[in-house]
Structure 1
Amino acid sequence: MLTSRDRILTTHVGSLPRNDKLTDLLIRREAGEAIDKALLSAEMDRAVNEVVAKQKAAGIDIGNDGEQQRVGFQTYVPERMSGFAGESKRKVGKDFAETPELIEQFMRRFPRRGKISNAPQAQAEVKYHDVGQIKDEIARFRRCAPKGTFAEDFATAPSPGIVATTLQNVFYDSHEKYLDALARELRHEYMAIHDAGLILQIDAPDLAMERTMMFQDLSEAEFVKMCELHLHAINKAVEGIPRDHWRLHVCWGNWEGPHEHDVALGTILPVLNATTAGALSIEFANPRHAHEYDAIRKAGWPKDMILIPGVIESTSNFVEHPEVVARRIAEAVAVVGDRERVIASTDCGFGTFAGREWVAGSVVWKKLKALREGADIASGRLWGKRSAA
């Protein structure tokens, strides 16, 4: 995993806006409709080429395929694993339960979208049966972004815990047994990414977001215990992958809402610090969690871990001023105590689910450009010179 030498590097969390044609094809495929495979393949080629070019133009150092080939960051899993059928009955999150008009706004704003709270459930033993799809994803990315296009390449995959909480279990005797099965099977995807030479990013919003979702009725102490269980499943699934070859993303849920019931970072930070990942990606730009650097300031930051702070908010069409970005980066460097172990990023993805993009596509690229400009300003101040282009 790269560390900076003379400037702050930039990356993002993974998903980027999909065009309307690709969105429609992905949603139809997820719904079980017959899709022209050649047409879908050609559209994926076009989409990945486009997001690679736009990441480069925006100044992203560590890039990916924008998750253009998936309908959702974790809901694509039933396409590659057997055992899933029917429909999960996910709890309504506290944000939406207490503010029902948000649900009405959501339905009006995103009338046609990939499955979110109604994804399939585990009705039989889960088995990863199609490594070919992840290999195809990687091969397409490599065609569109040959080695050297970015300073470093990454690919995302969901944590066992976020799959377990959104593709819910009606087969296994316990949540823990379901987690163990998912960790064992998702390892196939993790290893395919690692073996291809890409940095693996595991997306684990379950370690924070699920406090207000599936585990909203647990006490805080009980939720922390659940987080420990979920993190253990991740660490077990990546055994053998060196820490500097994978990073962990944690967030409180990528939606526009009050977030009043979010768990504090300080509560879960001891759990997160037990990860075997070489880098931790956390939200810090949204209004509810911009103060959370205080938790790191109090607890300290591991000397062998990179911080990937969100310095660009991912649900708002505001384009952050580069000076704001630079200030956020400076605060992150201050709590880590090392400018070379901070990589500037976004809070979360911009295309978490097909058809549910909070930020207009053209605005996303302006935000990523502001990320680079802010990182350059911060670099100039941190290194006491004009940063490298």
Structure 2
Amino acid sequence: MKRSTDRILTTHMGSLPRPDMLADLLVAEAEGKPVDAARIPALTDEAMDYVVRRQLDCGIDVGNDGEMPRSTFFGYITGRMSGFGGQSKRRPILDMQQFPTWWKNYQARGVRRLNVYGFPAAIGPVRYRSMDGARDELYAFHRARERQSKQFLETFVTAVSPGFAACSLQNQYYESHEAYVFALAGELKLEYEFIVDAGHVLQIDSPDLGIERAGYFQDEPLPKFIAAMEMHVAALNQALADIPADRVRFHACWGNRDSPHVNDVPAPDVLPVCYQVKAGALCLPFANPRHSHEVDAFRTQKLPDHMALVCGVVESTHNYVEHPQVIAERLERAVRAVGDRERVMAGTDCGFGTIVGDTQVSEDVVWAKLAAMRDGAAIASKRLWG
């Protein structure tokens, strides 16, 4: 995995806005409506060409395919695995219960087209049908990169963690939540290794470490939540057993939505669990106003020597374009907390298209934010390296 050896490198957290025609098809497909599926591969290729080129134009060093063929960052596995059907019955997060006016207004804005609280559930043994879905996605990404005049310094591909998949695609078959998590881990291991074998850094998306304190485990005391997250990480590590840690980066977050977030678990409470992951980098969101101060936790809860920090310095749920000077200050603060400029990279808090059809941040603003991150990283690099 590349590190910031002579300047602060830039990356993002995976999902990027999809063109309207592709988004409309993926939304309809996810809702079970009849679609012309034969159109999706060509539209995906066009979209991937575009987002790869735009990332390179914005100065992204470590880029990806924008998750163009996926409807969500987690639900995509229901199309690649058997064993899913029916509907999950996910409880509303605490913010929805505590701030009903906010939730009503959020829904009225129409920024989220898919109902993420009614995805399929596990109704039988979960098994990959084949690696065709992953293979098609990676090959499309390869073709898109071949058509560019510039190249990324490094590439990454995302995959959902077994823990978050189990919380979102809920268990209606296995004898326990733990049994389900480990069953998912056993299957996801195949996709994880497929991604790394193709030459990419694997990004594990595991928002359960943040979101589920106020979601799936909202009725449990903090120690029980932490114990559950340690079990999730143990299952993940089992899936990562045959992958070198420096080919994995681990992304956790508190939910990619502009909600109050007053029920979020503090970062210092979950950092010890994050440190248990077999990964070479942690990707954590510190641009948002609820958690930006918590980057200082690395002063006392030292980042393990083998890990780097991809620090969220650009927020992913609002349309303010961060000033490059603000981004530089955030990066310098992270470097002071970590104590090593080479172990800090610039990143976004989360993705900009985690759920297909999301319009929290307008597409043109996304590219402006990424360009500002490039400029902010350059300012910080000049100060840090001289």
Q: Shorter chain as normaliser: what TM range?
A: over 0.9
Q: Which residue of 1 aligns with 2:246?
A: 244
> Are the equivalent residues in 2 in contact too, given 1:204–1:250 (CA < 8 A)?
yes
Letter of the structure 1 residue corresponding to residue 56 of structure 2: K
> Are the equivalent residues in 2 in contact too, given 1:71–1:114 (CA < 8 A)?
no
> Are the equivalent residues in 1 in contact too, given 2:204–2:250 (CA < 8 A)?
yes
Selected match of 2:315 from 313, 316, 328? 313
Letter of the structure 2 residue corresponding to residue 103 of structure 1: W
Q: Which range moves more in the overlay, 27-36 or 256-265? A: 27-36
Q: Which residue of 2 aligns with 1:132?
A: 132
- Aligned residue for 2:382, secondary structure, equals helix
- Aligned equivalents of 1:157 and 1:31: distance in 2? 22
- Aligned equivalents of 2:142 and 2:195: distance in 1? 12
Q: Which residue of 1 aligns with 2:211?
A: 209
CA deviation vs aligned residue, 1:28-68 (integer Å, no higher than 9, x gap) = 22223343333211110111011001100110000001011
Q: Which residue of 2 aligns with 1:297?
A: 299
Q: Which residue of 2 aligns with 1:86?
A: 86
* Alpha-carbon distance change, 291 to 216 in structure 1, aligned in 2, over 3 angstroms: same
CA deviation vs aligned residue, 1:318-354 (integer Å, no higher than 9, x gap) = 0000000000000111111111111100000000101
- How many angstroms does 1:111 deviate by? 7.0
- Aligned equivalents of 2:96 and 2:270: distance in 1? 23
Q: Which residue of 2 aligns with 1:375?
A: 377
> Are the equivalent residues in 2 in contact too, given 1:110–1:355 (CA < 8 A)?
no
Contiguous gaps of at least 5 residues in structure 1: 385-389
CA deviation vs aligned residue, 1:350-383 (integer Å, no higher than 9, x gap) = 0010112310110000000000000000000000
User: Scaled by the length of structure 2, what TM-score is found?
Assistant: 0.97
Letter of the structure 2 residue corresponding to residue 217 of structure 1: D
Contiguous gaps of at least 5 residues in structure 2: none
Matches for 1:308-387 after TM superposition, within 5 Å: 308-384=310-386
- Aligned equivalents of 2:327 and 2:252: distance in 1? 20
Q: Which residue of 2 aligns with 1:40?
A: 40
Matches for 1:173-252 after TM superposition, within 5 Å: 173-252=175-254
- Aligned equivalents of 1:164 and 1:114: distance in 2? 19
- Aligned equivalents of 2:219 and 2:336: distance in 1? 36
- Aligned equivalents of 2:243 and 2:337: distance in 1? 27
Matches for 1:245-284 after TM superposition, within 5 Å: 245-284=247-286
* Alpha-carbon distance change, 30 to 339 in structure 1, aligned in 2, over 3 angstroms: same
Q: Which residue of 2 aligns with 1:387?
A: none
> Are the equivalent residues in 2 in contact too, given 1:312–1:345 (CA < 8 A)?
yes
CA deviation vs aligned residue, 1:81-124 (integer Å, no higher than 9, x gap) = 11111111101001111111222223222277234111000111
The CA RMSD over aligned residues, in Å, is: 1.2
- Aligned equivalents of 2:28 and 2:260: distance in 1? 32
- How many angstroms does 1:3 deviate by? 1.0
Letter of the structure 1 residue corresponding to residue 144 of structure 2: C
Q: Which residue of 1 aligns with 2:121?
A: 121
CA deviation vs aligned residue, 1:261-282 (integer Å, no higher than 9, x gap) = 1111111111111111000000
- Aligned equivalents of 1:350 and 1:224: distance in 2? 28
Question: Aligned residue pairs: how many?
Answer: 384
- Aligned residue for 1:344, secondary structure, equals strand
User: Scaled by the length of structure 1, what TM-score is found?
Assistant: 0.97
What is the aligned-residue identity percentage?
49
CA deviation vs aligned residue, 1:203-247 (integer Å, no higher than 9, x gap) = 000011100000011101111101100111111111110011110
Q: Which range moves more in the overlay, 142-151 or 167-176? A: 142-151
